[in-house]
Chains A and B, each alone.
Chain A
Amino acid sequence: MMHLLAADPTLADFGKDPLWITIIKAVMLFVFLMLGVLFGVWFERKLISRMQHRYGPNRAGKFGLLQSVADGLKMGLKEDLFPRTVDKVLYLLAPVIMVVPAFLAFSIVPFAPMVNLFGVQTPLQLVDLPVAVLFMLAMGAVSVYGVVLAGWSSRSPYALLGGLRSAAQVVSYEIAMGLSFVAIFLFAGTLSTSEIVKAQEQTWFAVLLIPSFLIYVVCMFGEAARIPFDLPEGEGELVGGFQTEYSSSLKFALIMMGEYLHTFTASGIAVTLFLGGWRAPWPISLWDGANVGWLPVLWFFIKFVLTFSFIVWVRASLPRVRYDQLMALGWKVLIPVNLAWILLVAAVRNVVINEGDRMIGIGLGAVIVIGALAIWMRFDTVNQRRREARKAQVEAEFEELSKEPVAGGFPVPPLDLPHYHGVQHKEIPSGTN
């Protein structure tokens, strides 16, 4: 029993570290994230180019491994430009606001259970709070300020549009994302990440709560502004979006780092909340030693890299959606579906686990389902009637136009030219000149 307790840290295990252990953990996390950005960029470029039958970066270092280092050096050595009309304070501050919360948000991700760090038993997680997941959401909310301010302070229409898009997009997708965590909170009974990982000892929440997981995966792209939802950047329509006026100097490097850190946070949260955190995957988890000591770091890292690869894969596969499609998906699909799913989860939990009154539960459920069906059928018939009327109108118009092609109809050549009407067709046998 003691052994199990040592392996699975809870909230009570935090806040006991000596200061130097906390500092070491913070430095380790920082180094992990910095190296993660350097090699994450290389990994993404390499993976995506393999998916597109290219080689990708292969000049700097073995396999192009040093490509990001070279890029970073170049960005550091370039002249730091301030376009003439920008709002200097905010223009400089915006990349910083983007990066700092992104680092902070990762601090609640557990990498491993209790480990022996220089002779001290400590959970391999920088900090845990009773509201750790909410803290992550809060940091996400703060870092949008960076994007919005970068857009506003640039004093350029493209940048401003990118900033506005980002503000609306992130606020919308944060709602759906927060709702997708609710089912987890119901099952885990806590908001602390270490205890959520602990609650996934039997089943991962990705299996138990598939709808929540799928909704989170969609929201993850919206929140991290990755393709298919990278509309704040949208180089097809907005040149560079909010970062149009940031030339490739250190400020741009910060922006890029912030974006990668957000993607990492999204992957880390997906792994922690849905994919069992540092727990070993199924066949390995039968072995008792798999979830003890430093080994779980490996499981966490594998899951983390696979999730990141999935995000890259999606980028290679899907085109960018239109802005109204993005908003419609967020508000009209993800949020209502999520609410219905939470209702179902809460009802089932209440009836099955807490042994609440079965009759009340079933009765209320029946009323809700019948009501929803009635509303849906009412609106569906109205919509269907509209669609049919529209189709009939288009067909009638088409009929009319094809009857009289020359009277302002479709641009076709006149159909009464002489050679259409039985003018002698001279046969030319082959072999004649």
Chain B
Amino acid sequence: MFMMEKALKGSRRYWIWLSCVTCFIAVGLCFYLRQLDQGLGITGLSRDVSWGLYIAQFTFFVGVAASAVMLVLPYYLHDDMHFARITILGEFLAIAAVVMCILFIFVDLGQPARVLNIIRYPSPRSLMFWDMISLGGYLLLNVIIAFATLRAEREETRPPQWMKALALISIPWAISIHTVTAFLYSGLAGRSFWLTAILAPRFLASAFSSGPALLILLCLALRRLARYDAGEEAIRKLAVIMTYAMAINVFFVLVEVFTVFYAAIPEHAVHFEYLYLLGGAHTLAPWMWISALCAIAALAILLTPAWRSRWLPLGCVLVFGSLWLEKGLGLIVGGFEPSPLGEVTPYVPTLPEWSIVAGIWAVGVFLITMFFKITVSVRKEAEG
């Protein structure tokens, strides 16, 4: 049912590419085995900064996964036919992203051999329990929808009736995965950086810009490398969604900054000071400023009519880069710095940590490559 045979036939370039990606996976795996052997001490994490790159990347990719809803919604709910060719790509991107999320959580565990305890002793009071349910359900929904769609296309039949129902369920479900992820953090009394009701909306806004940014870049790559056109109009509409989601995200951040600094409660302000004050032990500040500058540049490009279509790829790269730094690094580390006892322990991800992250990225790239290959083959055959 998965049409794997389509992924097993490809050009030389395809195989070379997959081999390179596999090398990254192998390197990541080697470092992970070392982490298993020596413990999480080989990462840059510490008693005070106990979550870092792994959990931050998890958060970021939950966003990418949730963003598929920005295609499913217009296509299934509003019957917008422009999205006919691109929606399935978004669903496959979501599948790869959820798989990455699960891996990021897994490599963060101190006792991975006991991971099934989460299912053996379910604890509905923990948001991690709900996160597991929502992510698992979302993965399942997307796998079913994407492959059933493809199959129908291959057999040149109409997709079954229940498909649309599932697609409609996946819309609120996508919102829920990122909301629950935000609640993981925003429900913690002692961490004032995350203790804000705007965290969930902010997560959604950043998701709906970073995900489409990535998808547009992937579509542009597909057009060049595989001569598969996802549709000019779809990409244009997606770019509009990305632009306004990005604008809303920046607005949310500014709202937060105002509240924190005007009210000037030290407990809330210290985290922002840690993230944005240059100099001292604030190792993250330069990156946060790069992120901010990328956001401004991206909005300038995407909101100016003359630049919008010409510089679209650059705009997407800037959006993605900006949010990757903001959410995939700063948002988690900022919550731990300074610690409840006011201490700042510098957090610098180590080489093993980066390698494991790169390995998981490579798994994502591998999956995306295969999924897109299957899709393009099936569609090209169907189109004759």
The answer to whether A binds B is: no
**Chain A residues in the interface with B (C-beta under 8 A):** none
